[in-house]
Chains A and B, each alone.
Chain A
Amino acid sequence: MAKPTASPVRTGLVHLALIIYTLIALFPVFLTVINSFKDRSSIFRDPLGLPTPSTFSLIGYQTVLGQGDFVLYFQNSFIVTGVSIFFVLLFGAMAAFALSEYRFRGNTLMGLYLALGIMIPIRLGTVAILQGMVAAGLVNTLTALILVYTAQGLPLAVFILTEFMQTVSDDLKNAGRIDGLSEYSIFFRLVLPLVRPAMATVAVFTMIPIWNDLWFPLILAPSDATKTVTLGSQVFIGQFVTNWNAVLAALTLAIVPVLVLYLIFSRQLIRGITSGAVK
């Protein structure tokens, strides 16, 4: 029996629906970016028009770069996100290796304990976290943010990496042991290189909530020197709310790094999700 082929009408309707939703998803971003390059009057006169030579203007960007300390904010965000991901991956991989490689009493319990944080959000402990950071003198430091984000990222990292490390062949590790490698060398020289794809997936999953977080920068590090780009643009836009050129330019500047990273990592990210890494 021949398999019924999809009729061109049906395929057309599927594409139509998908195109409509793609437009809904992209339109607000597109609108912001094109208007950030226009002068004030044409932003209002013709919001949907592309910038033309007569309406082109960079006044918004001049305001943003002149008034806001965005270079510093970007630097803070890069430091916080980068260092947190490094620790999440290192500590997470180490713990995952211990849980998947060795049998010891309390192994399952330890796994469950570490998995608790996947479902219970770290935000609920904010009252005591702030208290602790005040006591430790870490308020308004990037260290406070790095500590919180490392703790926040670890549960999912351990969970995903444990599953992945169970697939690394035992023969390889035992061959390493016979050759006299220490357990540390086996981990760093044999296992880590093999789980690199999983580490990349974990890195992308960890990075997005850290880069976009507003709650902890607002509470733990709101000072001018430690603002992240998310908090920085929130405060900047709040102050310049009537200067539409500046607001649109600030929004565009905040979108660009995410967009660039997404275009680089989207295959990794989507493959990570669809391969069931977050189940």
Chain B
Amino acid sequence: MTTVAEISIDRAEDRHRRRWHILVFLAPALLVYTAVMILPLIETLRLSLFNVKDNQSIFVGFANFQVLFGDPRWAASFWNALRNNFVFFLIHMLVQNPIGVALAALLSVPKLRFGAFYRTAMFLPTLLSFVIVGFIWKLILSPIWGVSPFLLDLVGLKSLFSPWLGKPGSALIAVSLISVWQYVGIPMMLIYAAMLNIPEEVLEAAECDGVTGWSQFWKIKLPLILPSIGIISILTFVGNFNAFDLVYTVQGALAGPDGATDILGTLLYRTFFGFQLQIGDKSMGATIATVMFLIILSGVCLYLFAIQRRMRRYQF
């Protein structure tokens, strides 16, 4: 009897002691994460409901949002940035992800030689900083240097060249395509991984039924990699609505020409930090950050609750 009691006391003590371990193990990560990430995020959301009048912070409700959406001084640049951001995202979805899928499909051809070399080379741009990527492309597309007219001349398309980055009509597309060039490696790798996970038997069965080549890709592989396409879409969405660096390095904080490449990230930077004659405005900055937060959150929720749940997952 006594031994049983002792053991149970031991266990209780043991459990009690273990609880402290858990706390010690969790505390540093929780502390840094909460203090530097979660609390500032909440504080930013809170700040969007306040504004400064006579050096005093007062609660204004949704007045900041009304100003952002409707006031002529803010609304034009806000809607412009939002629209540009959607175009930026759309170009990534239509160009980056299909190219990524195509490259992954080519890489997963069985018994491909030099596969590791191709993968390594094509993933390199993803690792370069925006500063490097931005300036390299600025130089290449510059009419002064003449590299791109020369290259276009080689394929007989010289007449197509124009200073794309300097024209309001084409600057956003040019910047988006630079970003696509940089990031195509990520969808390529994730889809490639998904394709490697398709079991050999499934493909063999398809081949026995005479489904090969193109129709095999469309009918067998594509449905099986759909969950990965969902993941890269949401990663692209979050990345694009949070983008700033590339536009800043290529076109500067004003996102020229004439705001043609202004996206929410650059608008947020100019608004809260100030630029040239514009003085930083904390409340409006927080308001724009809150709008970005809501856009990203609704995208993530749409993905988690609507898309991911309906997607069929195949267990092998």
Given contacts A48-B150, A211-B129, contact A18 B107 (CB under 8 A): yes
Using an 8 Å CB-CB cutoff, how does the interface string of B251-279 with A read, 1 for contact, 0 for none?
Answer: 00000000000000100110011000000
In the assembled complex, how far is the CB of residue A34 from the closest CB belonging to chain B, in whole angstroms?
Answer: 12
Q: Which residues of B contact A270 (CB under 8 A)?
A: 116, 119-120, 123, 189
Q: Which of A62-70, A115-123, A168-176, A192-200 lies on the face that meets chain B?
A: A115-123
Q: Which of B2-10, B28-36, B83-91, B160-168 lies on the face that meets chain A?
A: B28-36
Check B26–A121 contact: CB distance below 8 A: no
Report Cα–Cα, A151/B36, bound state, in Å. 6
Check A127–B272 contact: CB distance below 8 A: yes
Check B41–A125 contact: CB distance below 8 A: yes
Report Cα–Cα, A32/B132, bound state, in Å. 10
**Could you say which of B33, B116, B129, B181 contacts A151, with CB atoms under 8 Å apart?**
B33
Check B21–A184 contact: CB distance below 8 A: yes
In the assembled complex, how far is the CB of residue A114 from the closest CB belonging to chain B, in whole angstroms?
Answer: 6
Counted as pairs of residues, one from A and one from B, with CB atoms less than 8 Å apart, the total is 255
Q: Which residues of A contact B28 (CB under 8 A)?
A: 87, 90-91, 94-95
In the assembled complex, how far is the CB of residue A15 from the closest CB belonging to chain B, in whole angstroms?
Answer: 8
In the complex, B80 has a CB within 8 A of chain A: no
**In the complex, which residue of chain A has the Cβ closest to the Cβ of B204?**
A3
Using an 8 Å CB-CB cutoff, how does the interface string of B105-135 with A read, 1 for contact, 0 for none?
Answer: 0110111111011111111110111111101
In the assembled complex, how far is the CB of residue B105 from the closest CB belonging to chain A, in whole angstroms?
Answer: 9
Interface magnitude class on chain A: 35 or more
How many residues on B have C-beta within 8 angstroms of the other chain's C-beta atoms?
Answer: 93
In the assembled complex, how far is the CB of residue B213 from the closest CB belonging to chain A, in whole angstroms?
Answer: 8
Report Cα–Cα, A213/B130, bound state, in Å. 8
Check B189–A120 contact: CB distance below 8 A: no
Report Cα–Cα, A106/B268, bound state, in Å. 36
Given contacts A91-B32, A128-B47, contact A120 B297 (CB under 8 A): yes
Check B120–A214 contact: CB distance below 8 A: no
In the complex, A1 has a CB within 8 A of chain B: yes
Check B190–A273 contact: CB distance below 8 A: yes
Check B32–A187 contact: CB distance below 8 A: no
Check B272–A126 contact: CB distance below 8 A: yes
Check A123–B244 contact: CB distance below 8 A: yes
In the complex, A215 has a CB within 8 A of chain B: yes
Given contacts A29-B124, A91-B28, A270-B119, contact A125 B21 (CB under 8 A): no
- Give the interface of A toward B (CB within 8 A): 1, 3-4, 6, 11, 14-15, 17-18, 21-22, 24-26, 28-29, 31-32, 43-44, 47-48, 87, 90-92, 94-95, 97-99, 102, 104, 110, 114, 116-117, 119-132, 147-148, 150-152, 154-155, 158, 183-184, 187, 208, 211-215, 219, 230, 233-234, 237, 244, 247-248, 251, 254-255, 258-259, 262, 266, 269-270, 273-276, 278-279
